[in-house]
Each structure stands twice: as structure tokens, then as C-alpha cells.
Amino acid sequence: MTKTLGLIGAGRIGGALARLALAAGLDVVVSNSRGPQTLTETVAEWGEGARAATVEDAARQGDIVVATVPLGAYRRLPADALAGRTVLDTMNYYPERDGSVAELDSRELTSSELVQRRLSGAHVVKACNNIDFRRLEILARPTGAPDRSALPVAGDSTAAKEEAIRLLDVLGYDAVDLGPLSESWRSEPSTAVYVQPYLPERPPGLTDAEDVMRWFLDCPGAPLPADRLAVLLRDAVRQSPADARERLA
């Protein structure tokens, strides 16, 4: 049973997960690359149950550890400290930010398989990568709620996936099992499962960039039940990162 959530990364997704975990009665140990002294205000804002630590200590103290840093920094994840842990990988590959990675550009590997290769002693589970930070926090619902949303999970270890699914349930989400990490591309950017299904339809005529961002931050979100998510995952179409960038240009 997860009692302490370790966070490597204190960005928007990490912050949303921390607040959900604390609200559910879990402890949170958070870390970043700049050291615990830079997180004093963050843990004070989060309140009781949150504490800052080094990356290595967060890795060792978390019952489950969330890796929520830019994918370009995955080589800095502490493999030794994470050995034996279930690691939730929320990271996505954005070549314009992370730099080009040949194995990902060629679709030889998924980004989570690349992370698992780095963390060979850990059990990587892809999760919480296809929803934006605002909807991740505000769409959480109690178990059995009629408007509960679901998130996809993928992993090569059945036990680790089960552990991750139990954590998601505590945090307020159902889960749809994608299978192994090789199938985690189905929840990556450029697929129909990425972000958009958790948003309501954008108001017509809303085109100004500042207005769009304001709407994005303020809109309540649209629940995505497990059966609908399963269909979207089943019908997902894989693109190369280059193809996805061209389509979005």
C-alpha cells in the first residue's frame, strides 16, 4: 500500500499529483535538480505531509516514485536509488524541447521503453502523461462517482501496473491497462487520447492566444470514462515525431 509518494520533479504535473496525494492522506517527498532548499516555499504552500529532499532521497523514500521531468533529463534519474521501485513515468517526447532521439524518431522504442532501459532495476509504468495539469487535478473524483474519469497505464510488470492502478484509484481516477511499455505510444502526444478528450469544446470564435490560454486554465474539464478511453486507445494511430510536428504546424 502506498503511504508516501516520491516526486522527482516539482513542475505542474508533479504539483497536481502532490496536491491530490496530500488530499488523499498520503505523504509526499518532493525533489528537483536544484536541491531541497529551493522547494521551501513549495512544501509550505502544500502544507502538512509534504517535505523536500534530494532526488536520491525522494527516490528511496517513496513507496511509488513519480518521474516528472522533461524527457531530455531522463539520463539524470538516479538508477541505483530507484532500483526495485515502481516508477510512474509522466514524461513525453517533444523533440523541439528535448533534442532529437534516434530511437524515438524511428519508432524503434517508445519514450517509456527508453526510460526503462535507463532504470533497468526499476519497474516503469507510463501514467498521467496524456492529461494536462489543470484537468488532472480538477477531474479527480471518488471511487464509483458517475462522472469519474480514467487514465491509461502501460508497463512490463503486472505487479507494478497493479500498484500504479491502486494509486490512481486513491488519487481519484479509474485506469485502462494498455499492456506493455511498447504500447504506451497510444497515449503519447499527437494521438487522439492526448489532452483533448478531457477538455470541453472550445467556444466558437475563440482564437486570440491570451483568451485561449485563459479559457484553458479556467474551463472545468470534461469527464472521460474508462469505456470511452478504451475505444480511443484501441483506435489510436501512431505517427513519427516528425509527422506529428508537420501535422500540427
Domain CATH number, residue 63: 3.40.50.720
Alpha-carbon distance 39 to 9, whole Å? 11
> Cα torsion at 159, 114, 4, 55 (round to 10°)?
150
Residue 40 confidence (pLDDT): 96
Residue 243 confidence (pLDDT): 60
Number of domains in the chain: 1
pLDDT tens, residue order, the chain (249 aa): 789 999 999 999 999 999 999 999 999 999 999 999 999 999 999 999 999 999 999 999 999 999 999 999 999 999 999 999 999 999 999 999 999 899 999 999 999 999 999 999 999 999 999 999 999 999 999 999 999 999 999 999 999 999 999 999 999 999 999 999 999 999 999 899 999 999 999 899 888 999 999 999 999 999 999 999 999 999 999 987 766 544 433
Residue 179 confidence (pLDDT): 97
Q: Is 141 in contact with 148 (CB distance < 8 Å)?
A: yes
Q: What is the pTM of this model?
A: 0.93
CA angle 129, 86, 8 (to 5 degrees): 60
For residue range 211-241, what is the model confidence (pLDDT) as tens digits? 999 999 999 999 999 999 999 999 999 987 7
Its domain, for residue 60, covers: 4-248
C-alpha cell at 210: 491570451
Helix boundaries (H) for 27-76 = 40-46, 55-61
